[in-house]
Amino acid sequence: METKPPVPRAILVGVQLPGVGDITHAASLNELGRLVKTLGYEVAGSVSQKRDEIGGGTVLGKGRLEELAAMTGGTGMVGTMAPARNAKARQRFDDADGKPRSTPHRGPDPQPPRGPEFVIVDHEISPSQARNLERATGAQVLDRTGVIVEIFHRHAHSREAKLQVEIARLKYVSPRLRESSGGGGRQQGPGAGESDLEVDRRKVRDRLAELKQQLESIQRDSDERRSARRDQLRVALVGYTNAGKSSLMRALTGSEVLVEDKLFATLDTTVRALQPETRPRVLISDTVGFIKKLPHDLVASFRSTLAEALEASLLLFVVDASDPTYESQLEVSRSVLKEIGADAVPSRVLLNKIDRVSEADRAELRVRHPDAILLSATSAQDVAALRETIIAFFEASMVEDELVLPYAKQGLLSDVYENARVLSEDYDATGCIIRVRGLPAAITRLRRTLAG
């Protein structure tokens, strides 16, 4: 019978900096644990320390480093690598008195308890700090950025998302390649005179250039699709990862978008029409979630995807109201959108998962956020009320006007119905006289189309 490989185990490492409260620090470590579980690893424990900065060669002080090494089976010393756990040469002891056996051991070696294979640091650390921690602990070291990049890599499905993530991964790996390499020997043949490190750098640069070229081609197509939707009513769901955006997307549009209780389940932007459909149609887009310390290169890589938010008519900030750190999560979302220039787009805050919040806490939420909408994506009544709120937002900007559709252009009638609400139709010698209600820009475009 085939046995499954053991689940990788990890120790979390956090540094509490000045100005960071105990609750915020604990929440950040808890979030890191959820990221690690999303990778499929088991959290075996954590080590935390208050320090003035994330400095020094090993992130932690000597005492905490030794504590960490004891958990992973390392030496706690930076100067020597910890012995590999699977080394064949082991000292064997007699079961009774603890003394070395006097006779050769027969049969398989007893397996020592398996220690955690990974150390995950809740900060972005330098390649040299990672290397020192690996020497002291004998475990593989990842920082928060590396974990997030790996999750994005696993969850990317569309061609565009895969390209974006690979670009971010190469940018993350490149400096670590540079510092961890020892300047190997010179190459022979083509490119003679280059070291192994220089060849690797050139390969990364060439691959990045190739990926960016492919991504630009895809993004031109995406820009054209967004341009075609420019005069349509567009709402973007934005917010922290796992706040419930995809659940809300499914409830508002009836679409079968992926809904999972894990971080970064959605990376690909989905655009669907509000259901039941309105005239003109309202398009809802579900965007990639945000997180604290989101790597800058990932924000840059997903700039095209986030353009859905930039070009929307209304942003709905989806917030998990049941999370104790919801306010800092909302601030993270606003900060990322400000970075791409979307902070000027009209917005509303949706305090989601309100069914998990006590009545006393709901009252406090109403006081702290009087303009927010309290709802649960699982409540049909709440979703219906949100739908009416969205429609009312666009209604406030609409105007009524009259269009003339010549008989020779009756084929454009569907375009009118697509981009405005038809109130009445009359006919005279010139054609169809249509009374419509819609956004001024959409009506202006329709008038030009019908007159052209």
Among 80-89, 196-205, 419-428, which stretch is predicted with the lowest mean pLDDT?
Answer: 80-89
Q: DSSP labels for 331-371?
A: HHHHHHHHHTTGGGS-EEEEEE-GGGS-HHHHHHHHHH-TT
- What was the pLDDT predicted at 451? 82
Residue 195 has pLDDT above 90, yes or no: no
Domains 9-82+115-149 and 230-395 are alike in CATH topology: yes
Q: Name the more confident of 308 and 369.
A: 369
- What was the pLDDT predicted at 83? 46
Report the C-alpha gap between 431 and 76 in whole angstroms: 86
Query: Residues with Cβ < 8 Å from 39, sequence gap 6 or more?
Result: 147, 150, 151, 154
Domain ranges within the chain, ordered by starting residue: 9-82+115-149, 157-180+201-228, 230-395, 399-451
pLDDT, averaged across the chain: 82
- What was the pLDDT predicted at 394? 94
Q: Is the peptide bond before 110 cis (omega within 30 degrees of 0)?
A: no
How big is the chain by its Cα radius of gyration, in Å?
29
Query: Residues with Cβ < 8 Å from 85, sequence gap 6 or more?
Result: 73, 112, 114, 115, 138
Q: CB under 8 Å, gap of 24 or more: what pairs does 144-148 form?
A: 144/32, 144/35, 144/120, 144/293, 145/172, 145/293, 145/295, 146/172, 147/32, 147/35, 147/36, 147/39, 147/120, 148/35, 148/264, 148/291, 148/294, 148/295, 148/298
Among 101-115, 295-309, 324-338, which stretch is predicted with the lowest mean pLDDT?
Answer: 101-115
> What percentage of the chain carries pLDDT values higher than 70?
81
DSSP 290: B
Among 2-11, 153-162, 178-187, which stretch is predicted with the lowest mean pLDDT?
Answer: 178-187
Helix (H) or strand (E) holding 285: strand 282-286
Report the C-alpha gap between 123 and 148 in whole angstroms: 11
Residue 383 has pLDDT above 90, yes or no: yes
Residue 231 has pLDDT above 70, yes or no: no
Report the C-alpha gap between 240 and 335 in whole angstroms: 11
User: What are the CA-CA distances from residue 306 to residues 241, 270, 310 (Å)?
Assistant: 14, 11, 7
Query: What mean pLDDT is predicted for residues 282-311?
Result: 76
Helix (H) or strand (E) holding 160: helix 159-180
CB count in 10 Å sphere of residue 18: 8
pTM, 2 dp: 0.75
- For residue 23, the one-letter residue type is I
Q: Is the distance from CB of 45 to CB of 12 less than 8 angstroms?
A: yes
- What was the pLDDT predicted at 270? 79
- For residue 102, the one-letter residue type is S
Question: Of the segments 17-26, 29-38, 367-376, 407-416, which one has the largest average pLDDT value?
Answer: 367-376
Residue 21 confidence class, pLDDT cut points 50, 70, 90? confident
- For residue 13, the one-letter residue type is V
Report the C-alpha gap between 283 and 277 in whole angstroms: 9
- What was the pLDDT predicted at 434? 94
Report the C-alpha gap between 133 and 263 in whole angstroms: 27
- What was the pLDDT predicted at 93? 28
- What was the pLDDT predicted at 89? 30
Q: Name the more confident of 215 and 275.
A: 275
> What percentage of the chain carries pLDDT values higher than 90?
39
Report the C-alpha gap between 287 and 272 in whole angstroms: 12
Pair type for strands 421-428 and 431-438: antiparallel
User: What are the CA-CA distances from residue 408 to residues 404, 416, 426, 446, 451 (Å)?
Assistant: 11, 15, 16, 16, 11
Q: Name the more confident of 344 and 101.
A: 344
Q: Name the more confident of 202 and 96.
A: 202
- What was the pLDDT predicted at 54? 85
Q: Is the distance from CB of 446 to CB of 416 less than 8 angstroms?
A: yes
- What was the pLDDT predicted at 429? 87
Residue 230 confidence class, pLDDT cut points 50, 70, 90? low
Q: Name the more confident of 249 and 109.
A: 249
Query: What mean pLDDT is predicted for residues 10-15?
Result: 95
Among the listed residues 402, 417, 387, 155, the one whose alpha carbon sits nearest the alpha carbon of residue 274? 387
Q: In which region does residue 291 sit, left (phi positive, over 0), alpha (psi from -120 to 50) or beta (all else)?
A: beta
Among 134-148, 151-165, 259-273, 314-328, which stretch is predicted with the lowest mean pLDDT?
Answer: 259-273
Residue 298 has pLDDT above 80, yes or no: no
Query: Residues with Cβ < 8 Å from 205, sequence gap 6 or more?
Result: none
What would the CATH number be for the domain defined by 9-82+115-149?
A: 3.40.50.11060
Residue 228 has pLDDT above 80, yes or no: no
User: Among 3.30.70, 3.30.2420, 1.10.540, 3.40.50, what is the CATH number of 399-451?
Assistant: 3.30.70
- What was the pLDDT predicted at 97? 40
- Topology (CATH level 3) of domain 230-395: Rossmann fold (3.40.50)
Among 20-29, 216-225, 316-325, 433-442, which stretch is predicted with the lowest mean pLDDT?
Answer: 216-225
